[in-house]
Amino acid sequence: MELQFLGTGGGRYVTGMQRRKTGGIVIKTDETQVHVDPGPGGLVNSHEFLEHPEETEAVLVTHAHMDHFNDAQAIIEMMVEAYNNAGVLLANRTVLEGFGDLEKAISDYHQGLCGRVDTMKEGSTHEVGDLEIECQEMFHSDPKTIGFTVESSEKKIGFWTDTEFSGELVDLYSDCDTLVVFCSRPVDSATSSHTAVDEVPDIVEASDADTVILTHFGYKLLDEGVEEQKKWLEEKIDAKVVMAEDGMKFPGNRTLDAF
């Protein structure tokens, strides 16, 4: 299993200014390719970075915020219309139906184009090609936001998505080899809906992960410096720390500063 980061920015300021790209993350195996959270630029970044955009056969959207769903419809049209894949859509309830004040984020037309549409919810599991995906609800301003793990025969990778930190959430990630943490905020600036760098050690310690990859950086973290945040974290945990970069492949690209 390989990951490629099409974008590593998060939040409205970084997204609006494109200080980092916001195209999401692609999970690749020999059998399948899944595009996670295609924010603004997701379609363009797919063609810019992926060797085989035509192999994307599923799109996964964790919640109904613009930096996560914006290009989902464009990716659906790419998969289904441009490249004749059946098209699998995995998304939380808010994205598919709307919830509370949040409107649905993918039109009925685009949901209808997909060969399969699954609702990701607390405890749900989903198969895409050779990947097994397991979900839980996180604590975020879209109350139905999904965190998940992806397992293939060789590896298990956990995705700690947008959420306030809570010890109740760590169990899902207990036997992951690698953790991807959507970490918007620098040390000492946790907010009620996003994860900060100083909360990462508790997440990593609860798992067996030997590598943690941070991504989805907000403006304050970028202003304070990615390298400084990495150094702080390296002093606290034994796991290898990778600060994701736009276009980065994991594992691989070892010439990049991130490694």
In the complex, the residues that contact Zn ion under the rule CB under 5 A are: 65, 162
Closer by beta carbon to Zn ion, 19 or else 230: 19
Q: In angstroms, what is the minimal distance from the CB of 197 to Zn ion? A: 18
Q: In angstroms, what is the minimal distance from the CB of 241 to Zn ion? A: 23
Closer by beta carbon to Zn ion, 162 or else 198: 162
Residue 156: strand pairing partners? 151
Q: In angstroms, what is the minimal distance from the CB of 105 to Zn ion? A: 11
Look up residue 253 and give its two tokens: 């690209």
Question: Residue 210's closest CA among 187, 177, 243?
Answer: 177
Closer by beta carbon to Zn ion, 64 or else 239: 64
Neighbour count for residue 78 (Cβ, 10 Å) = 23
Q: In angstroms, what is the minimal distance from the CB of 162 to Zn ion? A: 4
Closer by beta carbon to Zn ion, 152 or else 189: 189
Beta strands in the chain (DSSP E): 2-7, 22-28, 33-36, 58-61, 88-92, 116-120, 125-128, 131-137, 146-151, 156-160, 178-185, 195-196, 211-215, 240-243, 249-250
Q: In angstroms, what is the minimal distance from the CB of 24 to Zn ion? A: 13
> Which residue of this chain has its Cβ atom nearest to Zn ion in the complex?
65
Residue 166: strand pairing partners? none
Closer by beta carbon to Zn ion, 97 or else 208: 97
**Distance, CA of 1 to CA of 24 (rounded, Å):** 17
